[in-house]
A = this chain, B = another copy of it.
């Protein structure tokens, strides 16, 4: 694929306001910095509305959410909507507890999201399908047509882009779906791999026009997956080394590698 937004991220250094979970703050900030973006990490109720005045994107990630955070996210999300700042939602583990389900319902009702990024189980939950009833193996081994349909359904339901991550990524704007056949199994063994992707999508949205959010999301996912593929070279289960390689690769990945490696197709 032709690299269009990656050079813009590096030249414009978009500020990505991350309201994310306590496990991945450091990895997310370092990943954004490596890529060329500028992280701003804050869940402080007193300042999260003001930040939308200078942010280029907002990430809302519910990985370790509590009541205070949820209120802050509602305020920040609405302020971002008003200011025209694109908002990415990462509904981490939404199916796991009643509390997360309640919070996600509120967030989806009150905020317009530009992109929702999640794994198959999370996107299925938003589609109203009990994916876990199909077994966990289905998530990784699963049927491409099913996963593609899931991504499309959620994009239509919430009028946004969906990025369903897994062995293959499926990105949909509700009409079209693109699949990306890159990446590595090692992503699943590093905490925050998905969370950082949400932040990276934010960085790409931050240098794109709203009409181009679909294209920007596809490129973000492709850059991420190819960087992961390159980082996993010659590794089997050395996930410590992989995480470090991956940060390196986010810093060094270029247009040539992307053109050479990215396997993107319609589905």
Give the B-binding residues of A (Cβ under 8 A): 21-27, 29-30, 33-34, 39-47, 50-51, 54, 63-67, 93, 96-100, 188-192, 236-241, 243-248, 251-252
Contact = CB atoms under 8 A, between A and B. Distances in A.
B252 A191 contact: no
A112 B39 CA distance: 31
A64 to B, nearest CB: 6
13 contacts: A23-B29, A34-B189, A40-B96, A43-B64, A46-B67, A47-B97, A47-B98, A47-B100, A50-B98, A50-B99, A189-B251, A236-B252, A237-B252
A40 to B, nearest CB: 8
B22 A41 contact: yes
A47 B63 CA distance: 12
A263 B182 CA distance: 43
B248 A239 contact: yes
A19 B241 CA distance: 26
A162 B46 CA distance: 28
A60 to B, nearest CB: 16
Contact of A41 (B30, B50, B64, B245): B64
Contacts of A237: 34, 248, 251-252
B97 A50 contact: yes
Nearest to A190: B30
Given A30-B190, A34-B237, 19 more contacts: A23-B29, A29-B191, A30-B191, A33-B189, A34-B189, A34-B239, A39-B191, A40-B96, A44-B65, A44-B99, A45-B66, A46-B66, A46-B67, A46-B99, A238-B251, A239-B248, A239-B251, A240-B246, A243-B247
Nearest to A98: B50
B192 A26 contact: yes
B99 A30 contact: no
A51 B189 contact: no
Given A98-B47, A192-B26, A248 B244 contact: no
Contacts of A54: 96
A243 B96 CA distance: 31
Contact of A252 (B66, B100, B238, B243): B238
A1 B47 CA distance: 43
Given A96-B51, A191-B29, A23 B41 contact: yes
A236 B239 CA distance: 22
Contacts of A188: 33
Nearest to A238: B248
A63 B41 CA distance: 8
